[in-house]
Structure formats: structure tokens, C-alpha cells
Structure 1
């Protein structure tokens, strides 16, 4: 159960860092967390681990924390600020891909020992990049839209708008990425299995981020966020 314990601890650590960033720097702290999480997720995703009897990639937790961030921005700052965060994440993703490819194109020195390791992490296939960017845009913009859709209809049900928006967005992300990246590369049944296992872990993370959204509401109510004090 070591992997499962570490997975849970990493989840708590990621959400705690989101809350600390919000507490210390308000909106700017949330904006800063988005590129951090996108870059970390793209590095961690290359590692496969066994969790609860299933094979999964790391990176799901850190990436899923971006949905908590956009929900917090939507709740406390409005739809336009949440959409800005999505764009920040997209720009950081593109920058990561472009600049790491340049690094790989440099001819390494004769005594270099890092080229093969960097290539293993950043040597991305075009379909992976296309799937990642497309899934990110569709799922994140849906999350912002859906959050406000449910908020307008059930303004007093924070848990509903948080989970209804994030869980559907996570499903969109899993389906779009896996279909673009893996369809034709693996049998369709295998692609479906990857979608299912990936979404299960994202669903769990989405459910567990709800208390942190309530915590953010409490911090705002107690006037502990500098840029939200009356």
C-alpha cells in the first residue's frame, strides 16, 4: 500500500499548496499555480505506477489541481479571471514543449550524461502534444462554463457546481486526450481501458477537492485574503 499512501499524501500536498498560494497572494497565487501544475504534470506523466490494482500515470493529481484553481477563481473573482488562468496554462504548456525540444536538438558534449534522460521525459510525439493541448483547452473552458452554469441555477449549492463541473470536465479531458493520442496505436478496447482507469483517479481527485473549495470560502469570509478584503 506504499504507492496508495504516497498518492494520497501527494494529493493533500498539492491541494495544500494551492490553498497556501491563495492565502498568501490571492488571485495572483492561483494564477502562479496553474503553470507550475501544468509543467509538473507533463513531467510526472511519463512515470507509470500501480495504484489500487490498476496501472496509472503520475501527474493526474497535479494536473487535477488546476480544476480546483479555476473553480476558486470562478467562485471568488468571476468567469473572466478563470478563463485567464486557462490561457496561462496553455501558454506554459506550449512554452514547455517548444523550449524542451530546442534543448534536445542541441548536440550534447562527449562527456554529457543527461541527453538520453531528457529525451525520455521530453521526447514527445506530435499526437501526444496535440492530444494534451486539445484536451486541456476543451476540458478547462468547459469547467469554467459549467461552474457558472450550475452556479446560476443552484447558487446555494457549492458542492454541486464544484463536482458537476469538474467531474464532467475530467471526463472530457480523459476521452479527448486518449482518443487523439492512442486511437490507432492500440486496440480500441485498450484505449477504452486507459480512458476508464485514467478517469477513475481523476474522479477521486475531483471529489476530494470539494472540502478545499469550502475552505477557500471560509478564508474569504474571515477576510484572510488580501485582495478580497472589503
Structure 2
């Protein structure tokens, strides 16, 4: 149960960081989370582990939190902000892939001890990045679209859980199938491949259920006028401004 315990700790750590960023800087705070999550998720996903008796890859929690962030942005700050988060993820993935693969081209010094390890991790990154870009574009833009579709049908604040789960559930299924096929088909045996497809979706779905209270908490913070004034003061001190809300 060691891996399972660490998995729970990882979920808690991700949620706490996201809530801290939103509590402190609001919209700008969780936009900062997007490049962190997509880059680290694409590194973690290379590592295969066993969770709950199934073959799985890491990165599911980090990647799953990007849906949490876009849902918070969609609910509280509108489509424009949510789509900006998706575009930031694109840029972060492409930049990380290009820069790290350029770094691998340098001839290491005789005393260097990191080249082989970096080669193991980042030589796979172009394929992982292609898989991520395809899955990310399809699933995240679908999530933003679906969230607002369900919001029109269930506009009440108490129905936020419907908007969150209905949009994220389908989006994560799309993401898991596209990403795993492009990234790992032919890398693992067929049985392990399908284990990864199913467990990837299942684990992301657990994250989606667990993050619903976080979306409600973020909604309450956004509805607090004093807290929103604090966000404006803090972001102004940093020389940045929140994206104009567009519901």
C-alpha cells in the first residue's frame, strides 16, 4: 500500500498548492499552475508504477488538476480566461521540449554525470509532447466548451458539481485514450497498454470527484468582494492585471 498512500499524499499536495495560489493571487495564481502541471506531468508520465493492483503511469494527478483549474476559471472568470490557460499549456509544453532537446545536443564534459539520465527522460519527450498536445487540445477545449454548455442547462450555483463532473468526465476519457495511444502504443505490451488506458482514466476520474469541493471553495472565494480586492492589490503590486471576466 506504499504507492497508494503516496498517491493520496500527492493528491493532497496538488490541491493545497492550487488553493494556496488561488487564495493568494486569484485568477493569476492558478494560471501560474498550468505550465507547472503540464511540464511536470509529462515528465512524471514516463514512470510506470503499480497502483491498486493495476499498471499505471504517474502524472495523472498533475494532469488531472489542469481540468480543475480550467473549471475554476470557467466558473469564476469566464471562457476567455479558461482558454488562455489552455494556450499557456501549449506554449509551456513546446518550449520545454525544444529547450531540453537542445540541451541534450551539447557534448557533456568528462566529469558530467547527468547526460545519460537526462537522455533517458527527455529523449522521449517529443513523442510525449506530441501526445500531450493532441490530447490536451482536444480534451481541454472540449472541457471549456462542455462546462459552459452544462452551465446553460444547470445555471444554479448549487449545480456546480454537475457542470464540473459532466464536462470533466467526458474530457478526461478523450484525453486518456488519445494521449495513451500516441504516447505508449507499441512501447508496452497490449495488455499493459490497455491497463494504462483504463487506469489512467479511472485515476483521473477519482481526482475529478475529489476536486469538486475545491471548485465550490474557489467559487465562494471569488464571490467574496474583500478577497477580490486583495487579489487586485496583490497582482497590481506584481505589475500584472487579471483577465477581464467574460461569462
- Which category describes the TM-score, using the shorter chain as reference length? over 0.9
- Partners in 2 of 1:97 and 1:16 — Cα distance? 28
The question of whether the paired residues in 1 share the 8 Å contact of 2:3 and 2:50 is answered with: yes
TM-score computed with the length of structure 1 as normaliser: 0.93
TM-score computed with the length of structure 2 as normaliser: 0.87
- Partners in 2 of 1:125 and 1:91 — Cα distance? 15
Shift of 1:85: 0.5
The question of whether the paired residues in 2 share the 8 Å contact of 1:220 and 1:228 is answered with: no
**CA distances 1:19-71 after superposition (whole Å, capped 9, x unpaired):** 11111111110111100111111121122222111121111111111111100
The question of whether the paired residues in 2 share the 8 Å contact of 1:26 and 1:227 is answered with: yes
Secondary structure, counterpart of 1:209 in structure 2 = helix
Secondary structure, counterpart of 2:26 in structure 1 = helix
Partner of residue 63, structure 1: 63
**Compared with structure 1, are the counterparts of its residues 214 and 228 closer, same or farther at alpha carbon in structure 2 (3 Å cutoff)?**
farther
Which of 166, 169, 185 is the equivalent residue of 1:167? Answer: 169
Partner of residue 110, structure 2: 110
Alignment of 1:147 with 2:147, yes or no, is yes
Partner of residue 203, structure 2: 201
- Partners in 2 of 1:185 and 1:40 — Cα distance? 21
CA RMSD of aligned residues (A): 1.8
Shift of 1:180: 2.1
- Partners in 2 of 1:7 and 1:50 — Cα distance? 11
- Identify unmatched segments of 5+ residues in structure 1: none
Report 1 or 2 for greater relative contact order, CA contacts < 8 Å, sequence distance ≥ 6: 2
Shift of 1:182: 3.4
**Compared with structure 1, are the counterparts of its residues 206 and 78 closer, same or farther at alpha carbon in structure 2 (3 Å cutoff)?**
same
- Identify unmatched segments of 5+ residues in structure 2: 234-247
Number of aligned residues: 229
- Partners in 1 of 2:183 and 2:12 — Cα distance? 29
Shift of 1:220: 2.1
